[in-house]
Amino acid sequence: DQQVKQNSPSLSVQEGRISILNCDYTNSMFDYFLWYKKYPAEGPTFLISISSIKDKNEDGRFTVFLNKSAKHLSLHIVPSQPGDSAVYFCAAWNRDDKIIFGKGTRLHILP
Amino acid sequence: EAGVAQSPRYKIIEKRQSVAFWCNPISGHATLYWYQQILGQGPKLLIQFQNNGVVDDSQLPKDRFSAERLKGVDSTLKIQPAKLEDSAVYLCASRYAGDEQYFGPGTRLTVT
């Protein structure tokens, strides 16, 4: 049973444009959501998070949107840069339980 | 601040052999996690420690996997005997008080 779903295995975006990565979840008990970025041969690094009491969190070029009614969140990167090419993992957490990761979306930023 | 350290970075073993991985979390981080990441999937939690006590090991295949965190700092994860399906990247992560986990570079295990 996959509680956190990233349905797009890969995404290609032109440099300078907006990258939108999507994530769906099934467990309404999740109260915290995180995005991690992973380069090859490195561990995931924390990017941005959002609490379930909010619907938007922004940090520089990165914005995460949360739609609780749809059980959907998205990560917007604007403008996209070559260094953004990586695998992005969505993760969800009920603080009384373990964090659950999606399968990841590989983002390619095209020159 | 030094990050989470893991060793070795790569390991190739034959099935039925044993292997051990080591993790040194960020200083002061009480919570330590071991994850298994199979190619094409997200990290899956194997075990969570709070200091030197186990908080969650529900997804640890205890017939072959074991982990310990003596003195609440470093941790080792062992697989004995290894199976082909254990080929994966084993990630260690630590957390202080916030919600973010800080990951090490991982150990890539190949079982042949």
Using one digit for the tens of pLDDT, what is the confidence trace for B1-31?
689 999 999 999 999 999 999 999 999 999 9
With an 8 Å Cβ cutoff, is B4 touching chain A? yes
User: What would the DSSP string read from start to end of B62-97?
Assistant: TTTEEEE-GGGS-EEEEESS--GGG-EEEEEEEE-S
pLDDT of amino acid B2:
80
- Short-list B76, B59, B103, B29, CA closest to A97: B59
pLDDT of amino acid A96:
67
Q: What is the mean pLDDT of residues A50-64?
A: 96
Q: What is the mean pLDDT of residues A7-27?
A: 96
Average pLDDT, chain A: 94
Contacts of B70 (CB under 8 A, 6+ apart): B52
pLDDT of amino acid A58:
97
Q: Do B42 and A43 touch (CB under 8 A)?
A: no
Q: Do B99 and A44 touch (CB under 8 A)?
A: no
| Nearest chain A alpha carbon to B37 | A103
With an 8 Å Cβ cutoff, is B102 touching chain A? yes
Residues B19 and B82 sit within 8 Å (Cβ to Cβ): yes
- pLDDT tens column, B78-99: 999 999 999 999 999 999 877 7
Which residue would you say has higher pLDDT here, B72 or A56?
A: A56
Q: How far apart are the first and last CA of chain B?
A: 37
